[in-house]
Structure 1
Amino acid sequence: MKTDQILAAVQTQKPLVHCITNYVAMNIAANVVLAAGASPAMVHAEAEVADFVPISGALTINIGTLSPGWVSAMHKAADAANASGKPWVLDPVAHFATPYRDEVVRDLIARGPTIIRGNASEIMALLGAATAGKGVDSGDSVADAEGAATALAKAHDCVVVVTGEQDFVTDGNRAARVSGGSDIMPMITAMGCSLTALMGAFAAVSPPFEASVAALAMFAEAGTRAARTASGPGSFQVAFLDALSQIKPEDLASDANVQWL
């Protein structure tokens, strides 16, 4: 499927996206999914996730604010996604910061995510590489992480997405880079987390590699448009959601900001 066809499918089918994400990201992630034309559900209770995943189009798991109950819910949700054939996206937020976070991510990766999305430092650290990352912030360039992303994709038979100054997507064989967006985006908390949720919406209607590229293209286009009118991070967030809601499939038809490798 082409990028414009995937967005058309999202806006027509309005897939339900089961988002297990962090406290900071819940509002913006839900609004981003809604603005793109899909339907978010912020369900994380251990007692219900296994029942909710099968009725969803996709699952996204973000480890930003961990607690034992949430970790158990993440495990059950990932297992339910695998059992019901639903794609799921893993966001390994700052997994290298503490041994606990790293252990949680290793357990989740062992469950076979469809897509792993992170910044350059997070992706590099998943392969044990030294990084300049600090907390949730990347200290490495996307270019530095491309080799690690490719190796990770091959090792776990999944799609790996590295986001930053120019996004990189690979399934271990194919690859693409997506440009666009705005320098203001890193100044707004949970933008990357909301992109993970959006990626779930696209994965619900198309194959994971193409879904990842399409989600990145839409996100970047919205960022580019928002930057034209925003005067700072506050106005940018509002302008970004407005821009996201106004993007039509034909706006992505040329793949102008996608470089297929």
Structure 2
Amino acid sequence: MLKTFFEKELVISGTQKKDGAANTKKDVRKIQSWLTLFSIINPAAATATGIDGDFGKATEKAVKNFQEVKGLTQTGIVDEETFSLLTAPMRNAFTKQSTGPDLRQLIVNTAKNHLPSHPFELVINQQPNSGPWVRAYMDGNEGADWLWCMGFVQSIIDQAASAQGKDFRKLMPQSYSCDTVGTTGLEKGILFRHTQIRNNPSLVKPGDIFLLQRSPNDWTHTGIITAVEDDLFETVEGNTNDGGSSNGNAVLKRMRNFRKSKLDVFSIQTLV
């Protein structure tokens, strides 16, 4: 894989504990971030805590609560075992080998494999688009300006293509920009316009990428198409929400009506 920043999110430099002499703010923020992410899908676990790099009483108690849920001794200390359990969702998403008869199905299955891990952004230092998942998809970048939908899409394609020994950059440049990828599709003749798709939906196949068009050369959001049915694309998207926002906070499976929205489609056929 080319996009391997996720590996940095799976490790800390050493054991972290309340007022520990070996604590580092970077590692403590990671721990606090994962505790808060755990609380999003386990709201009764009482593991949400401030993300400030200070391992105090609140963080210690949040760690103990997490350890209780996981059946560990409640030490309040984050050693390798506890941190490995905290980060298990990301490890499963990025390292579990998807299967499929071809690249298209590999892309679809890889995208779907990220869903059970509940990738979600955090607000850190009053900055949205932050946290371990955003950094993993965006090669370490995070913050309000780092919209991460294309980072998610390219992470999925990279993971799937790498399983076949392929370099996704032969399809598109490595980028976080929908505009860059859309322009590349036009130059290569592999971007189908929404008007073409409405006339001939068979142009679109699972594994292709939709680009939400604001104007003919300006795209605001993207995602992986996992199925095409009637007037609908079934998708898996990053940086979205229940309302389909292009600056949401999660990876979600969605349905989009391509007859009601200007959805251009970037074909992956040249990489297949």
TM-score (norm 1): 0.25
Q: Relative to total residues, which structure has the larger helix share, 1 or 2?
A: 1
Higher relative contact order structure (alpha carbons within 8 Å, sequence separation ≥ 6): 1
Q: Which protein shows a greater Rg?
A: 2
